[in-house]
């Protein structure tokens, strides 16, 4: 909740909300002003399953790349990164770095 008091996504800069479980990784681009999800990707999505990847560090990098491609296709270039209370380490850092290299600005 401490992060959510500070972070808010708009139509120009949506929030990249990240959720990690022991089995999956979920990422959503959210416009908090209108309360809508603009784009989303997870380890359950078809694009990720076609890569035959696992939700580990390498999978987080691939998921970040897919997320960046979907965001650019939706017209999103600049985002606010909501790490969801997780430490900026491991899978969170790998996904964020891959999204940056995919063309998103944090």
CATH code of residue 22: 3.30.420.100
Look at residue 4 in the predicted model and tell me its pLDDT: 61
Percent of the chain beyond pLDDT 70? Answer: 94
Its pTM stands at 0.88
- Structural domain including 89 reads 2-101
Of 30, 39, 90, 41, residue with least CA distance to 65: 41
Look at residue 3 in the predicted model and tell me its pLDDT: 63
Q: 46-100 pLDDT, tens per residue?
A: 999 999 999 999 999 999 999 999 999 999 999 999 988 899 999 999 999 999 9
Question: What's the structural domain count of the chain?
Answer: 1
Q: Whose structure tokens read 């990690």? A: 20
Rounded to whole angstroms, how far apart are CA atoms 85 and 74? 26
Residue 84, in any domain of the structure: yes
Maximal C-alpha separation, the chain: 37
Helix (H, G, I), strand (E, B) or coil at 38: strand
Q: Whose structure tokens read 């899978």? A: 91
Residue 106, in any domain of the structure: no
Q: 15-61 pLDDT, tens per residue?
A: 999 999 999 999 999 998 898 999 999 999 999 999 999 999 999 99
Higher pLDDT, 11 or 24: 24
In the chain, % helix, strand, coil (3-state, to 5) comes to: 35, 25, 40
Look at residue 8 in the predicted model and tell me its pLDDT: 72
E strand intervals along the chain: 15-20, 25-31, 36-42, 80-82
Residue 96, in any domain of the structure: yes
Q: Whole-angstrom distance between the N-terminal and C-terminal Cα of the chain?
A: 20
Residue 29, in any domain of the structure: yes
């Amino acid at each position: 909740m401490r992060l959510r008091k500070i972070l808010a996504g708009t139509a120009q800069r949506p929030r990249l909300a990240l959720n990690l479980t022991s089995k999956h990784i979920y990422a959503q681009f959210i416009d908090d002003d209108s309360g809508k999800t603009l784009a989303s990707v997870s380890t359950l999505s078809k694009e990720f399953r076609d890569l035959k990847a696992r939700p580990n560090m390498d999978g987080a990098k691939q998921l970040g790349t897919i997320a960046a491609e979907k965001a650019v296709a939706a017209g999103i270039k600049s985002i606010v990164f909501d790490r969801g209370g997780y430490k900026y380490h491991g899978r969170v850092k790998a996904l964020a770095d891959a999204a940056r290299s995919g063309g998103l600005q944090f």
